[in-house]
Amino acid sequence: MSTRHLSVRNLSVRDRFVLRRAVAVVLLGFLPGWLPGVSSSWAQHTTASVTLDRSGTLWSPYLEWSVPNSSYSGNPFDVLATVTFTHSSGATHTTEMFYDGEATWKWRFTGTKVGTWTFSTSSSDAELDGLSGTVTIDPNPEEGSYGFVGKAGNKWVRDRGNSGAREPFIPQFRNAFEKSNSFDWSSAEIDALLDRWMGQEGFNGVLVFMAGYWVDVNAVGARFRNRDPDLRSFRILEEIITKVHARGGVVHIWYNGDCQRSQCVEAGFGAAGATKAGEQRLLRYIAARLGPLPGWIMGYGYDLQEFASPGELDGWADYLRARWGWSHLLGARDGTTEEVHYTFWSGADWHSRGGWFSGVGYETSVAAMDSDASHPHAFDERWWESRMSEAEQRRQLWTLAMAGGISAIWGAEGDYEKEPYDNPWWFKTYFRFWEGRLLQGMERCNELTDGYCLGDAGASSYVFYKEETDRIEVDLSGAGATLSAVAVDVKSSYAEQGPCVVTAEAHTWELPYTSDWAIAIGDFGGREASAPTGDHAICTILPVELTRFEAATDGRDVVLTWATASETNNAGFEVQQRAADQADFEVLHFVEGHGTTTEAQSYQVRLADVSPGRYTFRLKQVDFDGAFEYSPEVELLHEVAGTYEVEKAYPNPFRERTVLRVSVPQAQAVRVVLYDATGRQVRVLWNGFMLAHAVQEISFEARGLPGGMYFVHIQGERFQATEPVLLVR
């Protein structure tokens, strides 16, 4: 008599689920009676949970399924299986499964509608064919959750909340996640860098450069070992995407770099345009694994005019768009000829411009915005500090916003421009100001002001912007109502001056001091109070006329002094301080004011035993009724004798080489950078750890440099110094 053995390995996935459920039913039927602590209700729950059914919430987090498939043959990345999700309304998303190592296939889903979805799989591989289930999508408990990035006319938009509304926004991307010949980023590194770029600096997007990393996490340009997707690279990239999305941001992926510099993944496959099996395999994998994830867009690379034809771009884009079940914007940066009208690739979802290495003016930005009303616009040349100073970048952000909403890519200095900005609050103030204030109906309205205006008359909402001013003219005679208003000094940490009210007429609004100002007037679809109460002050001038505010070092102490010419309803001053490594101000003291007086008054506060470093101080002047205004900010480099020593460079002047010596009282990281007379960074002379009281020689070799004045800038954790040196030729 022969014996027939049943092999679980030879069963399909669907039959394995049936078998497992049957075994569970048999075994769990015995458990409640004799296994202590196991109840029949637990057994029923466990039995019912053996299913492919899922539940989730709108937009995030995405759902994922995993099934084994040990009977496949050939390259596992070439095993094809599709999954079609169908909503009760008839809406569908079709995606592919993807191989995730160890004979495991997965698929993902992001709900774009609340309600019931059903799905079924189809494949020539029996173990992946015929699976089915139900997905229930509930409203997202986080009402402000974001979905996918899209376009509406020439504005960038994205899904937001449970209502299905698409909210305009301006994605600004921080140059990010680059290092030499590796895409190996740990979770701790990702978190720390996002804390800096999105937390401290406020950016709502990051740029991720992939190229050869798609297939080799340690690729050197296009010289990579694999021809298949590198699972480690994809796990890192999707971790970045999901963490950026959870913070309310967007990832801009560069598929390639510059092929002339061996930065193109396509070079490893022999041809572009999705014409080779290797690139088709990669594009299928991108569509299957990343397609269901919200919060990213993808550009083809840069300097494309040197190697990419429109036909190749069409092939690449068509192949992707035919395979992902959720839409993502695709773009291709044009050349460096600074053409306002984008003509490089007709299939682009946004118009991505190269050139303009040192920034772009307002009129050119307007011309770019108006060149095509059906596509969003971007300047994607990558502006970092070697091309634009930090202050120029801050103003450029506002220029692009006031032109109508143009995207760009930004960076500071250091390796791959990912070092922190010196003034991160400049950028964070910009992003905080625009949260919820960009409306789809906004148009330029400069005829209403002596500065710049972006407004939606139908929504009675306006943003005014003017640089280096202490007053701004606004004409709201057409508004037809009294509106709430706030003013923000965009060169300071975010703080709203107000709220106050402006009447529907033409008038001049006096601001407390000279700076770059942004003023928001109106309710912006509910963000601001649309019907100001009688408690709001009329927007005029500061109730206290501040004539002087200074900070000075006195030994280890810092002394703050200020004076007023007159005061009205002045309860007092809150003294606030921010250290160089802090994003926000902290409150130190409150000094009582003199109520209402026309006589000059003077004030002084001594801060005892302050650690050496760079500090910013400001006053918050508070009225008796609770209204308040901020003073201009005062910066102080607080240096205390004995905290560090920098010997003068010798020889100076010099011809070939000069040396200066640095010592610190406590072990710390020190960075020494050489700048030329224009402020351009020439090279890093030292970037490392100095031991306490050890003298470190810093050598400046002048080979290849022209004669002239240079500046050696030494930056420690609690000090900085600059030494001039003169190179003679």
Residues 6+ apart with CB under 8 A from 94: 82, 83, 84, 85, 325
Looking at domain 645-727, its CATH architecture is Sandwich (2.60)
Instruction: Give the whole-angstrom CA distance, residue 264 versus residue 212.
Output: 6
Beta bridge partners of 473: 508
Residue among 585, 577, 584, 590 at smallest CA distance from 621: 590
Q: Is this prediction's pTM over 0.85?
A: no
Residues 6+ apart with CB under 8 A from 102: none
The answer to whether domain 544-638 has CATH 3.90.420.10 is no
Q: What is the mean pLDDT of each run of 10 residues along the chain (729 residues)?
A: 36 45 37 32 34 97 97 96 98 98 98 98 97 98 95 97 94 92 94 95 96 89 75 98 98 89 78 90 98 98 89 97 97 88 96 94 97 97 93 98 98 82 95 96 97 95 96 87 90 88 82 92 71 51 71 87 86 94 91 89 91 91 86 86 78 91 84 83 88 86 88 82 88
- What pLDDT is attached to residue 531? 41
Token couple for 691: 């031991």
Please give the DSSP secondary-structure letter assigned to residue 335: -
Instruction: Give the whole-angstrom CA distance, residue 571 versus residue 629.
Output: 12
- DSSP assignments along 577-604, one per residue: EEETT-SS-EEEEEEEEEEEESS-EEEE
- What pLDDT is attached to residue 338? 86
Residues 6+ apart with CB under 8 A from 36: none
CATH topology of domain 443-538: Immunoglobulin-like (2.60.40)
Q: Where are the domains of the chain?
A: 1-51, 53-141, 146-434, 443-538, 544-638, 645-727
- What pLDDT is attached to residue 543? 53
Instruction: Give the whole-angstrom CA distance, residue 648 versus residue 474.
Output: 54
With H, G, I as helix, E, B as strand and everything else as coil, classify residue 613. Answer: strand
Instruction: Give the whole-angstrom CA distance, residue 380 versus residue 59.
Output: 28
CATH number of 53-141: 2.60.40.10
Residues 548-592: tens digit of each pLDDT: 899 988 878 899 999 888 888 899 999 999 998 888 899 999 999
Token couple for 41: 């209700």
Q: Do 146-434 and 544-638 agree at the fold level?
A: no
**Residue 599: alpha-carbon gap to chain centroid:** 49
- What pLDDT is attached to residue 30? 35
- For domain 146-434, the CATH superfamily is Glycosidases (3.20.20.80)
- What pLDDT is attached to residue 125? 97
Q: Which residue has the tokens 């099934």?
A: 67
Q: In this structure, are residues 117 and 137 in contact, taking their beta carbons and an 8 Å threshold?
A: yes
> Which CA distances in Å does 58 have to 71, 91, 260, 461, 700?
35, 15, 43, 30, 58
- What pLDDT is attached to residue 597? 85
